[in-house]
Amino acid sequence: MSPDRRLATIVVAFAALFLLNASVYTLSEWEQVVITQFGRPVGSPVNTAGLHFKVPFIQMVRRLDKRILNWDGYPNQIPTKDKKYIVVDTTARWRIINPLLFIQTVQTESGARLRLDGILDAVTRDTISNHNLVEAVRNSNAILERVRKKSEAQKTQELQPGSEEEEVTGEVEGIAVGREALSGIIIEKARAGLKEFGIEIIDVQLRRIAYEASVEAKVYERMISERQRIAQKIRSVGLGEQAKIQGKTNKDLQGIESEAYRKVQSIKGEADAKAIRIYAQAMNADPSFYEFVRTLEAYRKAIPAGSTLILSTDNKFLELMRKR
């Protein structure tokens, strides 16, 4: 081979490679493409992964993602239906389902994001401001059920120490829609609008709902006063409980003491009665002798030693003295 021919071979080989490169493209599992010819979409979009061919140079490949994509909303200050100012931070997942339509209407992902911003922000704002705050916070009325049971239990029983804090403070009103259903409403409303851009909205999550700064301070104030009220209640329940126990102490004490007194008296009385009967039975055999003997005994017992006695000689004891 002459040098010129070799050179020619190399040039042809490179040209062939170049041509091949321009007419072949690979597609990843997470991609889908629209083939455009002078900017005009040709044929149906390709979304099977692998090696594909196209007409070199005049056909262009517009790659689009096939996967689930994220959309992040700016935290929005929205007044709810019950005039509470809250910050709502939404996030959504979406997917390009109609690449052709997508290319024609929004062209690029950043174009799509602009549309998403517009539609989702507006829909979220509408939905939130058409409902009360609780609808966006709570998902079910299970909490009401629990609160109802608790308050019933509190009604039937007396106030138990330790249970005061369980009591529900703040506002617990029933909900008709709920957080998840609100997301559903937002999705439903956004879906129709986004369909014409070849976008499918998979879900919208209310990632964060918070009080707006000025409202937050007021909420905190309310929380503080609530806690103080609860603390006060706990204390007074404690004092009440203390008084109850003190009362019970007095009651039990009186009971014990009077019961003992009653028993003592009846035991003694019973014994006295028995003694009376025994004496009476014995003495009745000869009452006058009893009187005589008992009188003498009484003298002995009743008159202490060292007393002074003035006697008349009339005395029976001195009878003999007198006669002498």
Partner 1 sequence: MPQSSDDPAEEIINMLRTLSAKLKTDFSGQGLMVVVAAVFGAGLLFSSVYTVEPSEQAVILRFGRYVSTEAPGLHFKLPLAIDQAIKVKTKVILQEEFGFRSSGEVGSRTDYSNKSFKEESLTLTGDLNVANVEWIVQYQISDPKKYLFNAREVLKNLRDVSQSVLRRVVGDRIVNEVLTTGRVEIAEEAHRLTQEVLDRYDIGIRIVTVKLQDVNPPESVRPAFNEVNAAKQEQEQAINQAEQGYNKVIPEASGNAEKSIRDAQGYATAAVNRASGDAARFRFMLEAYRAAPAVTRTRLYLESMEELYGRFKTLTIVDKGVQGLLPVFSSPQTPSPAAEGSR
Burial level of 104, CB count in 10 A (0-12/13-18/19+)? middle
User: Shortest approach of partner 1 to residue 70 CB, angstroms?
Assistant: 5
Please tell me whether residue 278 binds partner 1 under the rule CB under 8 A.
Answer: yes
CA 221 to chain centre: 20
In the DSSP assignment, the letter for residue 74 is P
Closer to partner 1 by Cβ: residue 133 or 194? 133
Q: How far apart are CA 147 and CA 153, in angstroms?
A: 10
Question: 81, 148, 218, 244: which one contacts partner 1 (CB under 8 A)?
Answer: 244
Judged by CB under 8 A, the chain residues 165 through 224 that form the site for partner 1 are 165-166, 168-172, 179-180, 202-203, 205-211, 216, 219-220, 223-224
Question: 36, 98, 129, 139: which one contacts partner 1 (CB under 8 A)?
Answer: 139
The four Cα atoms 194, 196, 200, 205 give a dihedral, to 10 degrees, of 0
Judged by CB under 8 A, the chain residues 89 through 118 that form the site for partner 1 are 91, 93
The secondary structure of 118-139 as a DSSP string is HHHHHHHHHHHHTS-HHHHH-S
Candidates 98-106, 121-129, 152-160, 279-287; binding stretch for partner 1 (CB under 8 A):
279-287
Question: 147, 181, 184, 191: which one contacts partner 1 (CB under 8 A)?
Answer: 147
Question: Please, what is the angle between helix 179-195 and helix 109-129, to 10°?
Answer: 140
Judged by CB under 8 A, the chain residues 224 through 243 that form the site for partner 1 are 224-228, 230-232, 234-235, 237-239, 241-243
Closer to partner 1 by Cβ: residue 11 or 114? 11
Judged by CB under 8 A, the chain residues 282 through 311 that form the site for partner 1 are 282-283, 285-286, 289-290, 292-293, 296, 299-300, 303-311
User: Shortest approach of partner 1 to residue 265 CB, angstroms?
Assistant: 8
CA torsion through residues 211, 215, 216, 218, sign: negative
The token pair that represents 235 in the structure block: 């204390």
Judged by CB under 8 A, the chain residues 9 through 68 that form the site for partner 1 are 10-11, 14-15, 18, 21-22, 26-31, 48-51, 56-57, 65-68
Closer to partner 1 by Cβ: residue 39 or 170? 170
Q: Do 94 and 200 form a contact (C-beta atoms < 8 A)?
A: yes
The secondary structure of 196-259 as a DSSP string is TTTEEEEEEEEEEEEE-HHHHHHHHHHHHHHHHHHHHHHHHHHHHHHHHHHHHHHHHHHHHHHH
Closer to partner 1 by Cβ: residue 51 or 214? 51
